[in-house]
Amino acid sequence: MELFYQSTRSKSKPVKASQAILKGLADDGGLYVPEAIPTLDKGLEEFSHMTYQETAYEVMKLFLTDFTEDELKDCINKAYDSKFDTEVMTPLVEADGAYYLELFHGATIAFKDMALSILPHLLITSARKNNVSNEIVILTATSGDTGKAALAGFADVKGTKIIVFYPKNGVSPIQEKQMVTQKGDNTFVVGITGNFDDAQTGVKKLFGDKELEKQMADAGFQFSSANSINIGRLVPQVVYYVYAYAQLLKEGKLENGEKLNVVVPTGNFGNILAAYFAKHMGVPIAKLICASNENKVLYDFFETGIYDKNREFILTSSPSMDILISSNLERLIYMTAGCDADKNAAFMNSLSKQGKYEITHDMKNAMTDFCGGYATEQETADTIKALYEKTGYVIDTHTAVAATVLNKYKAATGDNTKTVVASTASPFKFTRSVMNAIDKKYDSMGDFELADELSKLANVKIPKAIDEIRTAPVLHNTVCDKEDMKAVVMKFLGI
Ligand SMILES: *Cc1c(COP(=O)(O)O)cnc(C)c1O
């Protein structure tokens, strides 16, 4: 059965999966959602005998119904290969009574590799299927991890260029070094003087700029998005929740049908929305626990039904979650509003005009799958130290936000359902914060020295992604004001 995608903001003509992937954002500024969430057509017992790649095919074929079997398998095989440094792709590590789902074994050691290593192939295939001859220009705002993962995914992919904007003072030194050393003639990296929301708002403005769109088309270019609003990002993320459940089943850690809680360190709401999709496809997930850092807009939202971004933006040690507008939440709002685009558009309009909106009682009641929690900076650091001292396992700051929220949730509810914690980054990506949490004495060391220390402490080899940038030359040094993003894009494209 063919699955179509609809914009969250108006009842426009539904599009095929490949068209939704190509466009990224709908013309009315809405996000694409499938008209219905498909159900798994195989049992989880059957999934427990599959490889990650086989699982990816079985899950993604239900969403990308206009891809042929060969096309989809080709994308999967190109993405999920030796770029990943572990055989099972997403290992589960049991520590202190929880299962840490390590999603950081790809090229840039953060979970975004799971989707961004396949997106370029989905995009190129989508372009071919729709007879697009323009060169595709990926425009992305990043709070740190998306940028590098997208750059790594698109570098030297024929028929594409990629431009990444990041907040100049809002990412970790390692994250910045990873981006500015990116190779590939088709890659551009720009720091902006502003925060992540400024970068994201600026990118959205460029996507909506009709005049620019025309100038681009005349020069043979068209924009697409690699941000987590692209359905081609969301769909690959559903896979690892199916795979994780099946792995726990295979290892005898769960009975078939037994409920599982999932805790996800959340920023743009993409990862946890993928878990929600997995639940509605048939994976027995009970609670979806949404973990925030001190930028706890989502925690407040799930408590009160009011989304309010009018607050101070706090820079934390988990920068990939320093976000006040969680774009993917719009998809949940739309779905819980009964797929009523007008209703959703009114909320989003209120968000853009007043910076806030309040959902109805019925909608709030329809969100009981979710539960919000947050962790302060101190709690996050304490969790890293305590877990290390108790088990020897070292987690990164984002994962530690989730682990903290899990501990608080268990203490508050007494819910002892088995739990998967989405482990979204390698501790080697946020080495300084991680090592400082364990012992302040490390603060005087340099970044790479710290990586060596962490390697000894955790008894884990330094990932290739870190070793590579030790000596890599800086290839990108453009910095601009947020008002100048358009000019920078035009200069890069030579238009
Ligand atoms: C992007 C990111 C997150 C947040 O994920 P969303 O899908 O945006 O909610 C959490 N942790 C890390 C390490 C990330 O890179």
Q: Is the pLDDT of residue 99 over 80?
A: yes
Which segment of 40-49, 152-161, 421-430 scores lowest on mean pLDDT?
152-161
pLDDT over 90, % of the chain: 87
For residue range 315-327, what is the model confidence (pLDDT) as tens digits?
999 988 999 999 9
* Residue 267 CB less than 6 A away from ligand 1: yes
Model pLDDT, residue 311 = 97
- pLDDT bin (cut points 50, 70, 90) of residue 145 is confident
Model pLDDT, residue 60 = 98
Model pLDDT, residue 100 = 98
- pLDDT bin (cut points 50, 70, 90) of residue 304 is very high
Model pLDDT, residue 144 = 73
Average of per-residue pLDDT across 454-466 = 95
- 362, exposed or middle or buried, with CB in 10 Å at 0-12, 13-18, 19+? exposed
* Residue 329 CB less than 6 A away from ligand 1: no
332 closest CA partner among 287, 283, 272: 272
Mean pLDDT of the chain: 95
Model pLDDT, residue 83 = 87
Domains (range + CATH), the chain? 92-110+232-463 (3.40.50.1100)
Kindly report the backbone phi and psi dihedral angles of residue 291, in degrees, each rounded to the nearest multiple of 5, phi listed first. Answer: -100, 130
Which segment of 150-159, 295-304, 390-399 scores lowest on mean pLDDT?
150-159
Which residues, 6+ apart, have CB-to-CB distance to 142 below 8 Å? 148, 150, 164, 165, 166, 171, 179, 196, 199
- 17, exposed or middle or buried, with CB in 10 Å at 0-12, 13-18, 19+? buried
For residue range 342-362, what is the model confidence (pLDDT) as tens digits?
999 999 999 999 999 999 999
* Residue 266 CB less than 6 A away from ligand 1: yes
Model pLDDT, residue 146 = 83
* Residue 30 CB less than 6 A away from ligand 1: no
112 has catalytic annotation:
yes
Q: Whose CA is nearest to atom 2 of ligand 1?
A: 320
* CA 318 – ligand 1 centroid, Å: 9
Spatial distance between the Cα atoms of 469 and 126, rounded to a whole number of angstroms? 33
Model pLDDT, residue 207 = 87
Active-site residue (options: 16, 23, 112, 148) = 112
* CA 240 – ligand 1 centroid, Å: 15
For residue range 260-302, what is the model confidence (pLDDT) as tens digits?
999 999 999 999 999 999 999 999 999 999 999 999 999 999 9
- pLDDT bin (cut points 50, 70, 90) of residue 175 is confident
* Residue 230 CB less than 6 A away from ligand 1: no
